[in-house]
Structure 1
Amino acid sequence: MAFVIDTSAPSAETQKIAAEELRETPENVAAGLKELKDLLAADTSITYDTSDDFLMIFLRPTKFYAKSAYELMKRIADFKKKHYELFGELSPEMEKDVFMNTDVLNIFPNRDHKGRRILMVKMGGNWKPSEISTDQILKILYMLHLAAMLEPETQIRGAVVIMDYKDMGMKQVTAVSPGFAMKLMTFIQEAMPLRLKEIHMVNNPMLFNMVWKIIKPLVKEKLNKRIHFHGSKMDSLHGFIPPSHLPEDYGGQLPKINYGGKDWYPAVEGHLAHFERWRKCGKN
Structure 2
Amino acid sequence: MENKTEEFNIRVGYISDATLKLAETELRETPEIREAAIKELRKLLHASPDLNYRDDDEFLVVFLRACHFYPESALKKMKSIASFRKDYAHLVRGLQLEPFKEKFMHGNTINVLKNCDQLGRRVMLINSGGAWDPAFVSSDETFQLLYGAHLVAQLEPESQVRGVVCILDFEGLSFKQLKALTPNYLLRLLSFIQDAFPLRLKEVHVVKQPYIFKALWSLAKPMIQEKLRNRINFHGDDMKSLHKFIEPDYLPRDFGGYLPTIDYGGKEWYEAVEIHKDYIGEWAELGPAKW
Which category of TM-score, normalised to the shorter sequence, fits these structures? over 0.9
Displacement of 1:45:
1.0
* Structure 1 position 279 matched with structure 2 position 284: yes
Decide whether the 8 Å contact of 2:97 with 2:281 is kept in 1: no
> Which whole-Å CA distance do the structure 2 matches of 1:76 and 1:252 have between them?
36
Decide whether the 8 Å contact of 2:129 with 2:170 is kept in 1: yes
Instruction: Give the equivalent residue in structure 2 for 1:108.
Output: 113
The amino acid across from 1:117 in the alignment is R
Displacement of 1:9:
3.1
Instruction: Give the equivalent residue in structure 2 for 1:12.
Output: 17
* Structure 1 position 87 matched with structure 2 position 101: no
Decide whether the 8 Å contact of 1:198 with 1:227 is kept in 2: yes
SS in 2 for 1:228: strand
> Which whole-Å CA distance do the structure 1 matches of 2:98 and 2:72 have between them?
34
Instruction: Give the equivalent residue in structure 2 for 1:97.
Output: 102
> Which whole-Å CA distance do the structure 2 matches of 1:276 and 1:35 have between them?
27
Instruction: Give the equivalent residue in structure 1 for 2:40.
Output: 35
* Structure 1 position 52 matched with structure 2 position 57: yes
Matches within 5 A, 1:111-130: 111-130=116-135
Aligned residues: percent identity?
45
Partner deviation per Cα, 1:150-194 (whole Å, 9 max, x = no partner) = 000000000000000001111111211110000000000000100
> Which whole-Å CA distance do the structure 1 matches of 2:285 and 2:36 have between them?
26
Instruction: Give the equivalent residue in structure 2 for 1:220.
Output: 225
Partner deviation per Cα, 1:51-83 (whole Å, 9 max, x = no partner) = 100111100010000000001001111111111
Matches within 5 A, 1:1-284: 3-284=8-289
Q: TM-score, normalized by length of structure 2?
A: 0.96
> Which whole-Å CA distance do the structure 1 matches of 2:169 and 2:242 have between them?
12
Displacement of 1:228:
0.2
Displacement of 1:8:
2.5
Displacement of 1:280:
3.1
> Which whole-Å CA distance do the structure 2 matches of 1:94 and 1:61 have between them?
30
Decide whether the 8 Å contact of 1:111 with 1:245 is kept in 2: yes
> Which whole-Å CA distance do the structure 1 matches of 2:168 and 2:280 have between them?
26
Decide whether the 8 Å contact of 1:49 with 1:277 is kept in 2: no
> Which whole-Å CA distance do the structure 2 matches of 1:50 and 1:56 have between them?
10
Displacement of 1:119:
0.2
Q: TM-score, normalized by length of structure 1?
A: 0.98
**Could you say if the C-alpha distance between residues 25 and 2 of structure 1 is closer, same or farther in structure 2, counting changes exceeding 3 Å?**
closer
Gaps of 5+ in 2: 1-5
SS in 1 for 2:210: coil
> Which whole-Å CA distance do the structure 2 matches of 1:162 and 1:48 have between them?
31
SS in 2 for 1:60: helix
What count of residue pairs does the alignment treat as equivalent?
A: 284
Decide whether the 8 Å contact of 1:230 with 1:236 is kept in 2: yes
Displacement of 1:2:
5.8
> Which whole-Å CA distance do the structure 2 matches of 1:227 and 1:2 have between them?
26
The amino acid across from 1:145 in the alignment is H
Task: Find runs of 4+ consecutive structure 1 residues off by over 2 angstroms.
Answer: none
Decide whether the 8 Å contact of 2:7 with 2:115 is kept in 1: no
> Which whole-Å CA distance do the structure 2 matches of 1:126 and 1:198 have between them?
22
